[in-house]
A and B are shown apart, each in its own frame.
Chain A
Amino acid sequence: MSGSDLSDWHDVIAVAAMEKGWVTAATLGARRLAVYDTSSGIYVSLAACTHGGANLCDGYFDGHVIECPWHQGAFDVRDGRAISAPATRGMKVFEVRVEGGMVQIRL
């Protein structure tokens, strides 16, 4: 592990604390994050919808798609792409790894 790795990776949430097959809320400092448990792994994004700012952690999650609870705009959690109106801008997603039972993201 490089020195850069040590400073860039941050604990977000214990894997055991995540909701299975669903989205779980987490925070890192001032950042509100959404952590997704999917069949292809764990993904993490900022929790605010890029359309109206609602909390995506209260949204409907299915497969790899998170849907905003307010207007049902939707994003692919793998790359943050907006896939459904009224969301037009993608959401910020983070590089993720699991170390010692903790979900970590790279800043």
Chain B
Amino acid sequence: MTEVITPLTQALAEGKLTRAELRGFMQRSDALAFRHLGLWLLVLAATSALVWLALGTWWLVPAMFAQGVVMVHFFSLQHECVHYTVFRTRRFNDWAGVACGWIIGLPHQFFRYEHCDHHTHTQITGDDPEQVPLPRTIWGYLWYISAIPYWRTKIGEIARHAMGRLTAAERRFVPKVAETTLIREARVMVVVYALILAAMLAFQWAGPLWFWLIPLMMGEPVMRFVRMTEHVGRPTVADMRDNTRTNLIPKPLQFLCWNMNYHAEHHYAASVPFHALPRLHAKLRGYVHVEPGGYIGAHREILAQILGKRPRADQTPVDPG
């Protein structure tokens, strides 16, 4: 078989990284994972306490928003688990990933297949199943950030899978042998969510609303805002030096997103665990695209392109040679 060129083989071939260095970066640790997870859950416990204290007052709104901002970052943990880069023990990644998926409504097995295809076809229009297109207008930008299209897509996806249907686009990355697993996963999710809803109605149980569902809806636009900074506004080309953006953000936000702001480094070497990404970032300095202004800087760039103040990155001419 002819050698497949991946971002990693490219970096190794260009001498930016040696295999010995890569081995060092890839080492995983259950202890570091549990330490980060423990602190992370303490933050969630703190926002949950705020919600509890604010029940029955108008402070409930900002408290639920704070809770939601933390909760939507379960996605970051789930994403790391998809890559088996949180825990050294592989099954812990499976368990944590499934749990995160239940909390944020993202079936873990399906996400795994979809996300793998995103790594194969990053930013290639028509092939990357997770590509967020650069919006044409400010309204399109705000519409995406509202998370309404996101929830519409995700709820539709789970319902369709529960009915035993996959789209032709999904069948491009889901192997035939995995279809049954994905359909069962969606069906179990639908049944369990329905049981929770029934219990809420039957027992006048409002807890999930204040501590989970409303915060999740309030927080998801923040995650859409964050997710846009990873690739939107970068050229729609295969070269990882161009198509992905690393964002330098404050340490607390970095903690919340499990260092996934080092997104270009992550795409270069997806087997490198979250705790080693800052070191990989230092190693790949000058080799990947870095936005020093962080999330805000990335959105300034995106908005400048939408408003026509800078050339649109999705119209970047591809060098034929």
Contact B271 A72 (CB under 8 A): yes
Chain B's nearest CB lies how many Å from the CB of A74? 7
- Interface residue SS majority, chain A: loop
Q: Determine if A52 and B28 form an interchain contact, defined as CB atoms under 8 angstroms apart.
A: no
* CB within 8 Å for A60 and B175 given contacts A53-B4, A74-B90, A85-B109: no
- Indicate if the CB atoms of A22 and B175 lie closer than 8 Å: no
- Would you call A59 and B84 a contact (CB within 8 A)? no
Q: Which B133-188 residues sit within 8 Å CB-CB of chain A?
A: 173, 175, 177-178
Q: List 14 A-B contacts (CB under 8 A).
A: A48-B1, A48-B4, A53-B3, A58-B9, A58-B12, A58-B22, A60-B28, A67-B84, A69-B269, A70-B270, A72-B82, A84-B84, A85-B112, A85-B116
CB-based contact B19/A58 at 8 Å: yes
Give Cα distance in the complex from A59 to B19, angstroms. 10
Within 8 Å CB of B22, what residues of A?
A: 58
A16 to chain B, nearest CB (A): 17
B312 at the interface (CB under 8 A from A): no
A75 to chain B, nearest CB (A): 12
**Which of B12, B173, B270 is the most central at the interface, judged by chain A CB atoms within 10 Å of its CB?**
B270
B81 to chain A, nearest CB (A): 10
- CA–CA, A48 and B2, complex, Å: 9
Q: Are A67 and B271 in contact (CB under 8 A)?
A: yes
Q: Are B271 and A59 in contact, with the CB atoms below 8 A?
A: yes
Bound CA–CA A60/B87 (angstroms): 13
Q: Tell whether, in the assembled complex, residue A84 and residue B90 are in contact, meaning their CB atoms are under 8 Å apart.
A: yes
Number of A interface residues in the complex (CB < 8 A): 26
CA distance A69 to B84 in the complex (A): 11
Given A54-B4, A70-B270, decide whether A85 and B178 contact each other with a Cβ distance below 8 A. Answer: yes
Across the interface, A55 reaches (CB within 8 A) one of B9, B28, B119, namely: B9
Q: Could you list which residues of chain B lie within 8 angstroms of chain A, going by C-beta atoms?
A: 1-4, 6, 8-9, 12, 19, 22-23, 26, 28, 82-85, 88, 90, 109, 112-113, 116, 119-120, 173, 175, 177-178, 269-271
Contact of A70 with B6 in the complex, beta carbons under 8 Å: yes
Contact A86 B4 (CB under 8 A): no
Count of chain A to chain B residue pairs whose CB atoms are closer than 8 Å in the complex:
79
Q: Once bound together, how far apart are the Cα atoms of A65 and B271, in whole Å?
A: 13
B85 CB contacts on chain A under 8 angstroms: 72
Nearest CB in chain A: distance from B289 CB, A: 20
A54 CA to B270 CA in the complex, in Å? 12
A99 at the interface (CB under 8 A from B): no
Report if A62 contacts B (CB, 8 A).
Answer: yes
Cβ of A21 to closest chain B Cβ, rounded Å: 10
B-binding residues in A (CB < 8 A): 19, 22, 32, 48, 51-55, 57-60, 62, 65, 67, 69-74, 84-86, 88
Residues of A within 8 A of B28 (CB): 60, 62
Contacts of B23 in A (CB 8 A): 19, 22
A52 contacts which chain B residues (CB < 8 A)?
4, 116, 120
Residues from chain B with Cβ under 8 Å of A71 in the complex: 116, 119-120, 270
Q: Are the CB atoms of B4 and A60 closer together than 8 Å? A: no
> Nearest CB to that of B1 among chain A residues?
A48
Q: Across chains A and B, which 8 residue pairs bring their CB atoms closest together, nearest first?
A: A53-B4, A71-B116, A60-B26, A60-B271, A48-B1, A86-B116, A88-B175, A70-B6
Is the CB–CB distance between B120 and A70 below 8 Å?
A: yes
Please name all residues of chain A whose beta carbon is closer than 8 Å to the beta carbon of B84 when the two chains form the complex.
67, 72, 74, 84
Give Cα A57 to B12, complex, Å: 12
User: Which residues of chain A are near B3, meaning CB under 8 Å?
Assistant: 32, 48, 53, 55
- Report whether B177 and A54 are in contact in the complex, using a CB–CB cutoff of 8 Å: no
A32–B259 CA distance with the chains assembled, in angstroms:
34
Specify the chain A residue showing the minimal Cβ separation from B181. Answer: A85
In the complex, A57 Cα to B6 Cα: how many Å? Answer: 13
15 further contact pairs, Cβ within 8 A, besides A55-B9, A58-B22, A84-B90: A19-B23, A51-B116, A53-B1, A53-B3, A54-B4, A54-B9, A55-B3, A55-B6, A60-B28, A65-B90, A70-B8, A70-B119, A71-B270, A86-B113, A86-B178
